[in-house]
Amino acid sequence: MKQGTYYKRITADAKGINFDFKEIWQHRDLIFLLVKRGFISRYKQTILGPAWAIIQPLMTTIVFTFIFGNVARLADCGAVPTFLFYMCGNVAWHFFSGCLSGTANTFIANRGLMGKVYFPRLCVPIANVLSHLISFGIQSAMFLTFLVIYLFIPGYEIGINAYALMAPVLVIQMGILGMGFGIMISAATTKYRDLQFLVGFGVSLWMYATPVAYSMNLFKSSAILHIIARANPMTPVIEMMRYGFLGKEAGSIDWLSYGWSWLFTLIILACGVMFYNKAERTFMDTV
Amino acid sequence: MAEEILKIEHISKVYRLGMIGGTTLRDELQRRRAKRRGLEDPTSKIGSNIAGNIGDEFLALDDVSFTVFEGERVGIIGHNGAGKSTLLKLISRITAPSTGTIEMNGRIASMLEVGTGFHPELSGRENIYMNGAILGMTKAEIDRKIEDIIDFSECRQFIDTPVKRYSSGMYVKLAFSVAAHLDAEIMIMDEVLAVGDMAFQRKCIGKMSQISKAEGRTILYVSHNMNTIRQLCTRCVVLDHGHLVFDGDVEEAISIYLGINGGEQETYYDLMNADRPSEFHGTRLRMTEFTFLNKESAQFTPEEKLRFRIGFDAMEDLEGLKLYYTVKSIDGFTVGLTQTISSFCDARKGEHYECEFEYDASNLAPGVYYFIPDIFSDDGTGRHLSYDHPLCNITFEMIDNDNTKMRWQTSNYGHIRLNEIEII
């Protein structure tokens, strides 16, 4: 057969990593429309609309500030305002967990659509991450507003520095890590529904393993706890985020653990795409 | 010869019985353990080990191969469960084959179910973009075609209204319009035309033929409606229980699908226990049997007449009984009505009657037909009262071995041979 522009060959045996970037690029309009559709349908028939994107992390931050900050005294961050300390961690974590849990049920939530028509299946999780990115953008604006307000309040010390410019890199990393885990789980849930239950509380457990509700300074005395905390790929991300925006009292930079975090992220992405590709070929038969 | 555009080679699709649907990790572990010990799979459905489903596997498609050339309109027909939808799913890449390869030289637009991806909250216009993108169009392409799509859909008035307020007909029209305006080289349709009014169905068929002829687009079409198959397709593939049983001429394929090519036709029908359309039918008079006389099989040449006998019981005294029936072609098309002009019997209560009839069917074109006999009486003013109408299709076949006449093509010529043209 003559092999034209759109030549395609479908075989029975699955290949390993089959990341057809060209095909996804051809469907970029679809990704854009999926983001738009998700955004419109999410806030349709709500009174506050996109304001909900702000309310949730704001409330969580207030509760964290009160419970973990003032009552339990877990925020060891010197002259940095506790409220900003928690908001920074919460906004970042909220983005990551949104990417993860949002993509974790891709196949099951979209079986109606995917069972009827072919399009690159990765478009859906990518669109999901992008729509969380929009919410994250709104929340970041809120965070920066509070940051500026606190700059003018005497008695607080905010050491914003050049590492704040790392923020886009950190955001990309969180998106990749969240999506990598999410699609891996979504590939597995086509056969084993058990994992659906794991995702919900697994993500909240993971949050407590990450310095979101507390500060890494608490582990200073124990080297073992420090190493364990550093093994969590999300730890250096949150820490670097806080270091950049709030100063060395609030966060820390450890290039070794940050390197490990990126390595872990890329491995998860590769495995995720591989499992996802394998699952997408026949998931309609089992889901 | 046109270019090959779609080549299907030795495709099979295996489904595992008892496992389709969700499974838990525990089930899987149990299954593995049972397998290791050589025990029966504890999670399989009871009875799934009977012959034909060996090893809990079911072959939805078994070694199917065929090639489609550019610009062809191929109909895929077969009974429910023959594997038609599975085949389309494999071609449109929704699921992967178990063995074999599929090669295609072009984009595929599948319309397995129209309106896929329509979001109720979005307006018609937004949904056109959404649906177009799902089907593989870019925004620029849709921009160029949106006016045509809206015009074709006949929904311009409501185009900025959320589709949740649309009627189901409008929904389908809009969805079909998007799909019909795709730039795909291969279009796949699975009974999309089953919905929508007649006028729109005709418009769709016209549009499909037009894009196929004018732009050389290839179409794969699955339907149970033989009329649309006849109108649209240039070639037909017949599937049966996962096997490809025929590939070629449309008329031949349809007669194979209808299971009657050279097959014997029944000559005896038990009408006593057949269903009746109402409680009234069959209470004052009940037909008991129907027999074609002097025939092994109900196949007739134009020279032969249909001779048959109807047996019936009368529960009341009924006078002036007449018989009528509507002859239909096997695909459900009504050919015409015939009746006895005068009464054939005056029935007495409690008696059994056997009456014989003769009908000249020489003007019916070759093919398979059926009718339902109806015994009635009328009052001479055109009104009639039907006494019995057993819901049983009496089937017969008209055959023609006369090669001096034109070979009959039902899709073009119809079901009736009109009176011959005389030379004066």
- When pLDDT is cut at 50, 70 and 90, the band that residue B307 belongs to is very high
- When pLDDT is cut at 50, 70 and 90, the band that residue B155 belongs to is confident
Q: Name the domain boundary from B257, B283, B306.
A: B257
Mutate to test the interface with A, among B88, B89, B101, B134 (most CBs of A within 10 A): B134
A3 touches chain B (CB under 8 A): yes
Question: Does A186 score more than 80 pLDDT?
Answer: yes
Q: Can you point out the beta strands (E) in B17-156?
A: 57-69, 73-77, 99-105, 108-111
Q: What is the pLDDT of residue B195?
A: 60
The Cα B163–Cα B168 span in angstroms is 10
Residue B108's φ and ψ, nearest 5 degrees, are -115, 130
Strand pairing category for B306-314 and B285-292: antiparallel
Mutate to test the interface with A, among B93, B137, B145 (most CBs of A within 10 A): B93
Contact between A3 and B105 using a beta-carbon 8 Å cutoff: yes
Same domain, B283 and B310: yes
Same domain, B306 and B253: no
What's A67's DSSP letter?
Answer: I
- When pLDDT is cut at 50, 70 and 90, the band that residue A2 belongs to is low
The Cα A209–Cα A235 span in angstroms is 8
Q: What is the pLDDT of residue B322?
A: 92
Burial letters for A7-39: b for 16+ Cβ neighbours within 10 Å, e otherwise? eeebebeeeeeeeeeeebebbebbbbbbbbbbb
Same domain, B107 and B160: yes
The Cα A229–Cα A218 span in angstroms is 11
% helix, strand, coil for chain A, step of 5? 70, 0, 25
Same domain, B57 and B106: yes
Question: Does A239 score more than 70 pLDDT?
Answer: yes
Q: What is the pLDDT of residue A39?
A: 81
Q: Is residue A190 part of a domain?
A: yes
pLDDT, tens only, B71-130: 888 999 887 778 888 888 888 888 888 888 898 888 888 776 666 667 777 888 888 888
pLDDT, tens only, B234-290: 899 998 888 888 888 888 888 788 765 445 677 888 888 888 888 889 889 999 999
Q: What is the pLDDT of residue A14?
A: 60
Same domain, B237 and B332: no
**In A, which residues are within 8 Å of B103 by CB distance?**
1, 7-10
The Cα B188–Cα A175 span in angstroms is 36
Question: Does A264 score more than 60 pLDDT?
Answer: yes
- Residues B225-235 have a mean pLDDT of 82
For B41, what's the count of Cα atoms within 13 Å in the CB-facing half-sphere? 20
Burial of B114 (0-12, 13-18, 19+ CB in 10 A): buried
Same domain, B218 and B352: no
Question: Does A277 score more than 80 pLDDT?
Answer: yes
Question: Does B45 score more than 50 pLDDT?
Answer: no
Q: What is the pLDDT of residue A254?
A: 86
Q: What is the pLDDT of residue B245?
A: 87
Does ipTM surpass 0.90 in this model?
no
- The CATH number for B310's domain is 2.70.50.60
Question: Does B212 score more than 60 pLDDT?
Answer: yes
Q: What is the pLDDT of residue B352?
A: 92
**In A, which residues are within 8 Å of B116 by CB distance?**
112-113, 116-117
Q: Is residue A11 part of a domain?
A: no
The Cα B294–Cα A115 span in angstroms is 54
Residue A78's φ and ψ, nearest 5 degrees, are 60, -130
Choose the most confident range, by mean pLDDT, from A86-90, A154-158, A195-199: A86-90
Same domain, B191 and B332: no
pLDDT, tens only, A48-106: 877 888 898 899 999 999 999 888 888 887 788 899 999 999 999 999 999 999 899 88
- Whether the CB-CB separation of A117 and B131 falls below 8 Å is answered with no
| Contacts across the A-B interface (CB distance below 8 Å) | 124
Contact between A284 and B95 using a beta-carbon 8 Å cutoff: yes
Burial letters for B15-47: b for 16+ Cβ neighbours within 10 Å, e otherwise? beebbeeebeeebeeebeeeeeeeeebebbeee
- Mean per-residue pLDDT of chain A: 86
- Domain of residue B324 covers 268-413
A22 touches chain B (CB under 8 A): no
Place of tokens 């799509």: B149
Contact between A117 and B104 using a beta-carbon 8 Å cutoff: no
Contact between B106 and A4 using a beta-carbon 8 Å cutoff: yes
Q: Any idea which of A9-18, A42-51, B118-127, B205-214 has the lowest mean pLDDT?
A: A9-18
- Residues A238-248 have a mean pLDDT of 91
Q: Is residue A13 part of a domain?
A: no
Q: Can you point out the beta strands (E) in A75-227?
A: none
Q: Is residue A19 part of a domain?
A: no
A194 touches chain B (CB under 8 A): yes
Question: Does A30 score more than 50 pLDDT?
Answer: yes
Same domain, B85 and B153: yes
A220 touches chain B (CB under 8 A): no
Q: What is the pLDDT of residue B336?
A: 92
What is the secondary structure of A101-131 as a DSSP string?
HHHTTHHHHTHHHHTT----TTHHHHHHHHH
Instruction: Give me the percent of chain A exceeding a pLDDT of 70.
Output: 96
Same domain, B306 and B396: yes
Q: Name the domain boundary from B257, B280, B308.
A: B257
Question: Strand, helix or coil at B123?
Answer: strand
Distances (CA, A) of B36 to B16, B29, B54, B56: 19, 11, 18, 16
Q: What is the pLDDT of residue B22?
A: 47
Q: Is residue B43 part of a domain?
A: no
- Whether the CB-CB separation of B411 and B230 falls below 8 Å is answered with yes
- When pLDDT is cut at 50, 70 and 90, the band that residue A45 belongs to is confident
Q: Is residue A21 part of a domain?
A: no
- Whether the CB-CB separation of B242 and B187 falls below 8 Å is answered with no
Question: Strand, helix or coil at A230?
Answer: helix
By C-alpha distance, which of A167, A176, A166 is closest to A261? Answer: A176
Question: Does B54 score more than 50 pLDDT?
Answer: no
The Cα B368–Cα B357 span in angstroms is 20
Q: Is residue B263 part of a domain?
A: no
- The CATH number for B117's domain is 3.40.50.300
Question: Does A274 score more than 80 pLDDT?
Answer: yes
Tell me which chain B residue has its CA closest to the CA of residue A23.
B136
Q: How many domains does chain B have?
A: 2
By C-alpha distance, which of B215, B349, B373 is closest to B292? Answer: B373
Which residues on neighbouring strands pair with residue B174, listed in sequence order?
A: none
The Cα B182–Cα B385 span in angstroms is 54
Q: What is the pLDDT of residue B85?
A: 82
Q: Is residue A16 part of a domain?
A: no
Q: Is residue B42 part of a domain?
A: no
Q: Is residue A165 part of a domain?
A: yes
- Domain of residue A167 covers 26-286
Question: Does A146 score more than 90 pLDDT?
Answer: yes
Q: Is residue B420 part of a domain?
A: no
Residues 6+ apart with CB under 8 A from B93: A10, A118, B108
Contact between B24 and A194 using a beta-carbon 8 Å cutoff: yes
**In A, which residues are within 8 Å of B104 by CB distance?**
6-10
Distances (CA, A) of B211 to B90, B113, B180, B184, B187: 24, 20, 9, 11, 10
What's B156's DSSP letter?
Answer: G
Burial of A218 (0-12, 13-18, 19+ CB in 10 A): middle
Q: What is the pLDDT of residue A100?
A: 93
- Residues B338-359 have a mean pLDDT of 91
Q: Is residue A212 part of a domain?
A: yes
Phi-psi region of B354 (alpha: psi -120 to 50; beta: other; left: phi over 0): beta
The Cα B201–Cα B198 span in angstroms is 5
By C-alpha distance, which of A251, A245, A254, A258 is closest to A161? Answer: A245
Distances (CA, A) of B363 to B124, B265, B303, B369, B398: 51, 20, 10, 13, 10
What is the secondary structure of B280-328 as a DSSP string?
STTTSEEEEEEEETT-SSSEE-TTS-EEEEEEEEESS-EEEEEEEEEEE
Question: Does B47 score more than 60 pLDDT?
Answer: no
What's B154's DSSP letter?
Answer: T
pLDDT, tens only, B182-201: 777 888 887 655 566 777 77
Same domain, B297 and B392: yes
Burial letters for A182-216: b for 16+ Cβ neighbours within 10 Å, e otherwise? bbbbbbbbbbbeebeeebeebbeebbeebbbbbbb
Instruction: Give me the percent of chain B exceeding a pLDDT of 70.
Output: 85
Q: Name the domain boundary from B213, B231, B257.
A: B257
Question: Does B28 score more than 70 pLDDT?
Answer: no
Pair of tokens at residue B102: 């599929």
Residues 6+ apart with CB under 8 A from A230: A236, A254, A257, A260
Question: Does B50 score more than 70 pLDDT?
Answer: no
Mutate to test the interface with A, among B68, B104, B113 (most CBs of A within 10 A): B104
Q: Is residue B339 part of a domain?
A: yes
Q: Is residue B418 part of a domain?
A: no
Same domain, B110 and B161: yes
- Whether the CB-CB separation of A75 and A85 falls below 8 Å is answered with yes
- Whether the CB-CB separation of A202 and A178 falls below 8 Å is answered with no
Q: How many domains does chain A have?
A: 1
Residues 6+ apart with CB under 8 A from B116: A112, A113, A116, A117, B131, B134, B175
Measure CB to CB from residue A1 to each of B4, B98, B121 and give the nearest one: B4
The Cα A182–Cα A97 span in angstroms is 9
Measure CB to CB from residue B139 to each of A9, A14, A29 and give the nearest one: A29
- Mean per-residue pLDDT of chain B: 81
Strand pairing category for B285-292 and B268-270: antiparallel
Contact between B112 and A117 using a beta-carbon 8 Å cutoff: yes
